[in-house]
Structure 1
Amino acid sequence: MMIRIWFSLLALVSAAPLSAQEGPDDGFDAETILALKGLQLLDQRMNAIGYRLVDANAPYCDQKIARTGLLLNDVAQYADQETARFALGFNGSIGITAVAPDSPAESAELSPGDTLLAINAMPIDDIAIDDPELSNEQPVYRRVAAINRLLEHALADANVQLTISRGGISRTVPIEPVLTCPGRFQIRVSADRSATADGKMVSVSSRLADYFLSDDEFAAVVAHELAHNLLKHRDQLDSQQVNRGFFGQLGKSAQRIKDTEIEADRLSVWLMANAGYDPEAAVGFWTRYGKEHGKGIFSASTHYRWKKRVQLFEEEIAKMAAMEPVDGKYAPPLLTGAD
């Protein structure tokens, strides 16, 4: 059944928009609704874990951004928009998919299913999506990317008023952001098991997310990818002209990539501990995955094999155990903002 849901999700995000089809069905397909609900649950877990990691580690980041804990979604990305609205609870085009626990969005009593109508009285439909900075975004994602960018800019300047609709009733909600480490998070619908970091975004495939046994395991992988972004590894490798293609598996390029992977592994358990996740979950996850899949995910020449990775985690956990935490947190040695 899970495989069928993955394929349903792939169809939902890869099919042409509804306007390009003959027309919506009169009813709603149960399997599509189940797939959408499953994806929303993964989005909510990812949003909660990502927010918790960047919020808890804010004292140690040299750069910070204003954040609310909201995750927005555009129904235009789905082939069957009416079914998407029904499954996700939206009555408009842009809706709230997730609200991170203990975030400003939760304090403002926003909820998944709320429809976003305006930001500081600017209607969502009036936000320009033809900006050259959005040219790298796929067309169906440009509107929500433009909205997120406008929201980030507004939050950086002052408190924000969001106009939302719930149950057909509109209201304006003030929301006061908090400053956290930089970082964006998404579930990437895919039948493979993978996780990536591109310098700004942490992506975890839907199939890998389904593999985790707990949020602590989930956080172990997210924290590793977040560590890459916080340590600016992509910029570092680019400045070294490292080949990340086939030839990146060889010679100096492979070693330089492996060095960044080692750093990300070492930092990840500190990020986890500060956010209240059990760093031992990194040991448990990679032991389980290594035994089950051997040379599968993250095991190219640019990565240590699972036993060596587990050893790195245990070394860092031992370092924390020998320290006296301050307010329950440990200053990660690898972060430039740490004292």
Structure 2
Amino acid sequence: MVLHSADQYAEPPELWFAQGDVAIAAVVPGSAADRAGLMASDALVRIDDAPLASQSVVAGEPLRDTILAQIAGSDPATALRIGYRRDSRFASAVLDAQAGCRALVEVLVDGDRIARSDGRVIQISLAMMQLADDRQLAAIFAHELAHSVLEHRRRLEETGVRGGLIGQFGRHRRLGRIVEIEADRLSVHLLANAGYDPQIAPDFWEAEAGRRVSRGLFNGRRHPSRQERIALLEAEIAEHGLPQPGLSMPAQLLAARDLPFPSGEDQD
């Protein structure tokens, strides 16, 4: 099911959230939500035993993201219980959904060549999708997904950086470069594991699409330069002999999830 909340819109149509502030925008046919009888416009009231009204919202984030994080953090070994309101009547449903990737991907209709992740939600602008071909989009997505796999949001917040991956840029350039380099390195392993030639990652930055992107959002000291990215990606591919048989699990890089970021003030 696709969720949205009233605080994502400046002036949402009244009918969208007539039953509550977090509603179902759409239900995927044949999904666990569909089998449980949930429908578009149903308003979520409870997740398992916790009422939505009791959830603390992270500053700057829509309520929808808080609810998605709660659902993603539920026990995958047990069915998910959803309390919802339809036509002013309360009802409940049990979802027998299987555990899967918790990252949510959205396409933004506005924004100029944007690709970003806050550790939970990956957003790619329509302009970016029109600029890049399918292989280039795979390289972009692998980089953003790597932020989630490497738990950059949690690790930054534990360091005292609030606001996830987006809010920290500009205040902590040094940490920004660290997370970008880690995500670049892991991205080629994710591509190889998904059946792509990992070389499409450095090729993206060599291509016109990468050159145009590097002049926009990804330009600045908080990100490695385009040439730095190319060298880094190619070195990672060569060091691990990618692609290789079976899954590529770079132990040292994945182990970083359990290590704090280095302390110290940023240097200009």
TM-score using structure 1 length: 0.53
State yes or no: 1:222 paired with 2:147.
no
Q: Percent identity?
A: 27
Cα 1:152–1:280 shift into 2, 3 Å: same
Map residues 293-304 of structure 1 onto 2, 5 A cutoff. 295-304=215-224
Deviation at 1:274, TM superposition (A): 1.5
Structure 2 counterpart of 1:81: 13
Where does residue 64 of structure 1 map in the other structure?
Answer: none
Q: Please, which runs of 5 or more residues in structure 2 have no aligned partner?
A: 85-90, 258-268
The residue aligned with 1:330 is 248
Deviations 1:156-213 (Å, cap 9, x if unpaired)? 461136699xxxxx99674232154x53444445322223333433333343233322
Does the Cα contact within 8 Å between 2:150 and 2:256 map onto a contact in 1? no
Equivalent of 1:263 in 182, 192, 195: 182
The 5 Å alignment of 1:121-200 reads: 127-129=51-53, 131=55, 133-134=56-57, 136=59, 141-142=62-63, 144-145=64-65, 147-149=67-69, 151-152=71-72, 155-156=75-76, 158-160=78-80, 174-180=95-101, 183-200=103-120
Q: Cα deviations across residues 217-254 of structure 1 (Å, max 9, x unaligned)? A: 223222212323332445258638899565655xxx3x
**TM-score (structure 2 length as normaliser):** 0.64
Deviations 1:52-107 (A, max 9, x none): xxxxxxxxxxxxxxxxxx4323477453527x97xxxx9987235475xxxxx855
Q: CA deviation at 1:298?
A: 1.1
The answer to whether the 8 Å contact 2:46/2:52 transfers is no
Aligned equivalents of 1:230 and 1:204: distance in 2? 18
In the alignment, structure 1 residue 71 sits paired with structure 2 residue 2:
yes
CA contact (8 A) 2:192 2:243 kept: no
Letter in 2 for 1:73: H
Alpha-carbon distance between aligned partners in 2 of 1:280 and 1:152, rounded to the nearest angstrom? 32
Over the aligned positions, Cα root-mean-square deviation in angstroms equals 4.5
Q: One-letter code of the match for 2:103?
A: G
Once the two structures are superposed, residues 33-66 of structure 1 have per-residue CA deviations (whole angstroms, 9 ceiling, x without a partner) of xxxxxxxxxxxxxxxxxxxxxxxxxxxxxxxxxx
Structure 1 residue runs of 5 or longer lacking an equivalent are: 1-69, 100-104, 165-169
Rounded to whole Å, the distance in 1 between the matches of 2:72 and 2:182 is 29
